[in-house]
A = this chain, B = another copy of it.
Amino acid sequence: MIQSIERSSAVLRLLAAGPDRLRVKEVADALGLPKSTAHGILRTLEQVGFVEQDPRTARYRLGRGLLDLANVGLDVNELRSRALDWADALAGRTVEAVRIGVLQGASVRVVHHVFRPDDTTQAMDTGLVVPAHATSLGKVLLAYDVTALARGGLDPYTRKTVTAPREFARALAEVRAQGWGSAVEEWEPGRAGIAAPVRTYGGLVVGAIGIYGPVERICDGRLRPRTALVEQVCATAHAISRDLAGPRR
């Protein structure tokens, strides 16, 4: 056991326990440490972003870095590991490629990818970063993200890419209303996607899962997503959400 790491975790737990911000002295007393030692730990934790110091009162509280770690890291890991089987099943039933993505800034990071069954040569999309506003995964993620519209511009990729902010806001509202989203030839010509949100504890959207393929297979004659596929995607997303939100351990 590395002493300083153990102590720093105790400091973090202490800051998390109390509703108030804590002074150096309080931390030192609570942990039975000299002031200097506590201060050194706090200063290091501040530098790495795990705690923040109020400039006015000089008191310490937990920092934004921890939240980012927990949200970006843990949820994505859990999302990926719990979604593997479901994604395979969705690919099998729909006979389409399946992607799972999370929001990363103004883009979508593809954290998992299942090849379309019965198709030989396909690119590995895991790790890929795609624009959020032109993909079904991205539209779903943006629809449930409060900082959505404050992000980057709406660059056009095809003639169908939605670039007008007001029109895009309406599209997001539609996603929220129906619980799923689609993008038809808005990113790559001839290709379309259907996606639905994956939620964790308390309903927080942490990712999206969807299928992606040729527009003639994803959509019907009027270029509208096929109802059967939409239902498959939504059912899978709900199943993963139940899994994620399930037993707390």
Interface positions of A (Cβ within 8 A of B): 1-2, 4-6, 8-9, 12-13, 15-17, 19-21, 40-41, 43-45, 47-50, 61-77, 80, 111-112, 126-127, 144-147, 150, 201-205, 245-249
Contact = CB atoms under 8 A, between A and B. Distances in A.
A1 B44 contact: yes
Contacts of A201: 145-147, 204
Nearest to A1: B44
Given A19-B80, A44-B5, A69 B66 contact: yes
Closest 7 CB pairs of A and B: A16-B73, A70-B70, A9-B48, A204-B204, A19-B111, A146-B245, A2-B44
Report whether over half of chain A's contact residues are helix, strand or loop; otherwise say mixed: helix
Contacts of A249: 64
A44 B203 CA distance: 32
Given A2-B41, A19-B77, A126-B19, A67 B64 contact: no
Quick one: copies of this chain in the complex?
Answer: 2
Given A19-B112, A19-B126, A70-B71, A77 B62 contact: yes
A156 to B, nearest CB: 26
A89 B44 CA distance: 38
A112 B2 CA distance: 36
Contacts of A4: 2, 4-5
22 contacts: A2-B4, A2-B40, A2-B41, A5-B44, A8-B8, A9-B48, A12-B73, A16-B74, A19-B77, A61-B74, A62-B77, A66-B69, A66-B70, A66-B73, A67-B74, A67-B75, A69-B70, A144-B202, A146-B246, A147-B247, A150-B247, A202-B203
Nearest to A21: B77
Contacts of A245: 146
A83 to B, nearest CB: 11
